[in-house]
Amino acid sequence: MKVTINDVAKYAGVSIKTVSRVTNNEPSVKQLTIDKVNNAIKELNYQPNLAARNLAGTKSYVIGFIYDNPNAYYIIDMQNGILSACKDLGYELLIHPCNSKADNICEELTTLVKHNRLSGLVLTPPLSEDPVILNALDKIDASYVRIIAGEKVATGNGLAVLVNDRSGAISITQHLIDLGHKNIAFLSGDYEHASTKERLAGYKQALANNQLAINEDFIISGKYSFESGVEGAKNLLDKSVRPSAIVACNDEIAAGALFAARLEGVDIPSEISIVGFEDSPFSRQTWPKLTTVHQPNEQIAQIATELLIAKRKEKSTQLGKVFLPEPVIRDSTARPQN
């Protein structure tokens, strides 16, 4: 037999309204009462009907995860992080993939917010970096948190969780330089993502910090895909002077580059070292395993969601958090032969 809110109230010795206040995380409830209700919920294994609560109340308990990203690993990590926060804080999750380049994208998102009475949105790149989309959401007073590339939380720009991609790119490029590499190439992701620009800037800064020339022929435009890594690496391998190392804009690109090199009979890492970015499963599924930069996407998404909900409950004035990616050294890098 299904446990109801009436059962919880009776077990805890409080009113139904008090149980509702506790499950809705409303303020001004005594801690002793909260503990009694939570203990009853645990003992009876009570599962609140969040959908009914959304319909009955004036508040919404649904967070929307909006994304346009072909990387399944990234999406799964983000989804798991958001779900973890929602579960802990009594919210549900609505997942909405979309095409950020669609002509009606602003109408699509504002309609989504209104029709589903969303409490807030978690936005990932490139949506989180598009001023037109953000302006449309601001016009309907939608709450959102942006996951973006950057180095510092700025006041007045709303909630944001930043990934310091530039610092991560500096660190991983410096690793190659410390091994003795001087001819280092860069395989780019989509330029519509700020992360691409930041990682490229970090790569260039590391070269400049070590008085190494930037060879524009070694900077190959591409996309965040395995196929782009294959094509980019082929381009580099066809040059009269090959690089001794490659910095790929993410692990999927790096995996493609490694695949292309092996097809050409190029040994990794003795002939060319390859590094990625993000520490996704791609980095551990290749042979050899990829040296990369760890980006804790699940934790990033969880923190972003917690910030969003805390602001909605007016329990926090924190504007954001910055994550600093760190290198993970594996088998795809070594000292150059010459």
Q: Where are the domains of the chain?
A: 5-48, 62-164+296-325, 165-295
Q: Tell me the CATH number for domain 165-295.
A: 3.40.50.2300
The pLDDT, as a whole number, for residue 272 is 97
d(CA 105, CA 111): 10
Closest by CA position to 275, among listed 157, 190, 172: 172
The residue behind tokens 């190959």 is 220
Residue 58: predicted pLDDT: 47
Would you state the CATH architecture of domain 5-48? Orthogonal Bundle (1.10)
Cα–Cα distance for residue pair 188/30, rounded to 1 Å: 55
pLDDT tens string, the chain, 338 residues long: the values are 677 777 878 888 888 778 777 776 665 678 888 888 888 888 878 766 555 554 444 456 889 999 997 788 899 999 999 999 998 888 889 999 999 989 999 999 999 898 888 889 999 999 999 999 999 999 999 999 999 998 887 656 678 999 999 999 999 999 999 999 999 999 999 988 899 999 999 999 999 999 999 999 999 999 999 999 999 999 999 999 999 999 999 999 999 999 999 999 999 999 999 999 999 988 999 999 999 999 999 999 999 999 999 887 765 556 788 999 999 999 999 999 86
pLDDT of residue 156: 61
Q: Give me the pLDDT at residue 155, please.
A: 59
pLDDT at residue 55 in the model: 45
- 3-class SS shares of the chain: helix, strand, coil, % to 5: 45, 15, 40
Q: Check whether the bond before 27 is cis (ω within 30° of 0).
A: no
State how far the alpha carbon of 94 is from the alpha carbons of 99, 116, 179, 298, 325, in Å: 17, 9, 46, 17, 28
Residue 187 parent element (H or E): strand 184-187
Residue 204, Cβ neighbours under 10 Å: how many?
18
CATH superfamily entry for domain 62-164+296-325 = Response regulator (3.40.50.2300)
- The DSSP bridge partners found for residue 320 are 160
Whether the full predicted model's pTM is greater than 0.75, yes or no, is: yes
Q: Comparing 5-48 with 165-295, is the CATH topology the same?
A: no
Tell me, what's the pLDDT at 25?
Answer: 62
* CB-facing half-sphere around the CA of 301: CA atoms within 13 A: 26
- CA distances 182 to 82, 178, 246, 312, Å, are 41, 10, 11, 50
Q: Are strands 292-294 and 326-328 parallel, antiparallel or unpaired?
A: antiparallel
Integer Cα distance of 44 and 25 in angstroms: 19
